[in-house]
Structure 1
Amino acid sequence: MTTQLRAEQTRATIIEAAADLFDRQGYRAASLSGIAGRAGVTKGALYFHFTSKEELALAVIERQDELSRRASEELLALNLPGFETVVRMTFEFAGRALSNPVTRAGVRLTLERLVPGSAARDSYGGWVEVAGRQLERAVVELDVRPTIDPPACAGFIIRTLTGMQLVSQASLPGRTLPQLVAEMWDVIIPGLLPPRRTPHYLDLVRTLAAEVDAAAQREG
């Protein structure tokens, strides 16, 4: 293994360990000593890659952004109907939030606004833009009412989704994140879609929620 490859792997390990502690403890409570211990590296090795907790937290947020962009690109490559793409995007996020601490920590760090330098980042702007374009497509495809404002609807959906990810970590017995996302769509779909398309997409929501829950149980 080359020195560069080892350095890249060490950096990735530190980011994953930091994400786990930021997710569990929050930005203020997590310490660089704890992150180093979690990663199995010395503090010297940690400081070689990251000079401060702020820099490390920003790296976690950046990694979350990267995962989101990649997932969006893969979903868009399927060339599904616009509204189906938006629905699947929300459940794809739910699946990552259940299985990937980087996703959970990135959302938490961004929403808490405790990391110096993170307030200027618009981590969800890309999601909103993609969802807005897909909703515009859905209007043309006659899946969504022509009276909606696609950018406003996209912003509402994405911000509601990220908020629910935090709510799902509270004490909600018997309620999983995919179930909460399904409930969101149960409320939103009748207002966005014409009656002839509503049953199809409500069925899709239930199917996706069950699939994501089942996948999470297998991985757990």
Structure 2
Amino acid sequence: MKLYHYIHCPFCVRVRMALGFFDLDYESVVLDYNDEETPLKLTNKKMLPIMEIDGEIMNESLDIIKALAQKSEKDLHLDKLDTESYEQLEQYLDALGKDVHNLCMPYWAWSKEFIPEAREYFINKKSAKRGPFNTLAQNKQLFLKGLELNLGQLPSKLLPFYESDKFTILDILLASHIWGMYIFPEYQFPPQIHIYLQKVKELTNFNYHEDFWK
């Protein structure tokens, strides 16, 4: 199996966490963000993650995770994707993600993930949608306020996992979308959420920058 991914991308992190939870071996290929040729060649669109499983190419994160589940005896409780809790979580992550991305993008761009050409491509593309990165950095207090309001809703749902006493696919969806905040230097998660994220890390054998420490 081969995974094409970006380090910072939460949808890619979803798949990496699932692979770790299922204890599946795979080849990791971190693409430069300005590499359009590889994803277009594989799927006719520039969208990651892309996973090759038994010769089949897939690039929807949940479809990939469902396919991976067939290769493991461990139960990620994928039936949760058919519940109202999943629909509510997706709406929550949409709201939460706006602030997370506005806060983290200026820092992601200067991580080791990006070579100069990819960094320029990333900044230009994301600035066209969100505005200049220096403006995002200047407005960080506004985004932090929005993040804190949304995260304030979370502790009551951790039982100790998301609306459950068992670890499920919903925990991977949630953790992958807020993990990026660890790169933001002034931010510290509330203790309960930090403990939750570290438990998810343990259960999924997840190492955010693993590819760069080999």
TM over 0.5: no
From the two aligned structures, give the one with the greater strand fraction.
Answer: 2
Structure index of larger Rg: 1
- Normalization by structure 2: what TM-score? 0.31
- Normalization by structure 1: what TM-score? 0.30
From the two aligned structures, give the one with the greater helix fraction.
Answer: 1
